Amino acid sequence: METELKETPSGRFEGREAFIQIVRDSFSCAAQQGWQQIMVSDASFEDWPLHERAVAESLRQWSASGRRFVMVAGRYDAVLRIQARFVAWRQRWGHIIECRICRNLNQADFPSLIWSPVWALRRLDLLRSTGVCGTTADRRQQVRESLDEMLAASAPGFPSSTLGL
């Protein structure tokens, strides 16, 4: 059975379902196109489809050697509570995943982003889930600059495993 090649999403989007589908499609494209790095940011990731089987499978396929995944959040409690497949993937592939926590932004101001060297997404209005995505160099550069600012103000968070006595 041949897998249908996904086209990288591009342009404006509006609504929760459109955002969710673009997240699904972006991870599928990352796996199919072999993106070397993915960086994501959101206050809590609670409305991302990281719990879905298709997203988990795309991330599993993407997880080849030399890849890097960076995640920045304001908090990880929703990820632990509702994104079980992502948490399992995080545990399995912890050596390529860096999770950071940035507590100095309130939820309304926290950027909701995906960045890769070839594609980027920025959710502009979190309540309406509107935003833009695509491959243009300036869009990727703007998203990367936002991520770099948050990374500079962040600390390690969401360990891949919890060691205890």
Residues 6-65: tens digit of each pLDDT: 688 899 999 999 999 999 999 999 999 999 999 999 999 999 999 999 999 999 999 987
In a domain, 6, yes or no: no
Residues whose CB is less than 8 angstroms from the CB of residue 3 and which lie 6 or more positions away in sequence, other chains included: 32
Tell me: pLDDT of 130 over 50. Answer: yes
Domain-embedded: residue 35 = yes
Q: What is the pLDDT of residue 1?
A: 40
Give the CATH number for residue 17: 3.30.870.10
Report the DSSP beta bridge partners of residue 72. 41, 100
Instruction: State the DSSP H helix or E strand holding residue 85, giving kind and residue range, or none if neither.
Output: helix 84-92
Structure tokens at 135: 């491959």
pLDDT at 164: 45
Distance CA 46, CA 4 (A): 28
- Which range of residues forms the domain containing residue 91? 11-156
Residue 106: what pLDDT? 84
Please indicate, yes or no, if residue 162 is contained in any of the structural domains: no
- Report whether pLDDT(4) > 60: no
Domain assignment of residue 124, yes or no:
yes
In a domain, 164, yes or no: no
Tokens encoding 58: 């795309």
The answer to the question of residue 3 being in a domain is no
Contact, 35 vs 116, CB < 8 A?
yes
Q: Which two tokens stand for residue 65?
A: 């050697």
Q: Which pLDDT does position 162 carry in this prediction?
A: 58
**Are 30 and 54 a contacting pair, CB within 8 Å?**
no
Shortest CA distance to 67 belongs to which of 96, 109, 27? 96
Query: Does a structural domain hold residue 2?
Result: no
pLDDT at 80: 94
Dihedral sign for Cα 109, 53, 58, 162, please: positive
pLDDT score, position 6: 67
pLDDT tens readout for residues 63-122:
987 899 999 999 999 999 999 999 999 999 999 999 999 998 888 889 999 999 999 999
Residue 61 lies in a domain: yes
Q: Cα separations (Å) of 3 from 6, 28, 29, 31, 58?
A: 9, 10, 12, 12, 12
Q: How many domains does the chain have?
A: 1
Q: Rounded to two decimals, what is the model's pTM?
A: 0.92
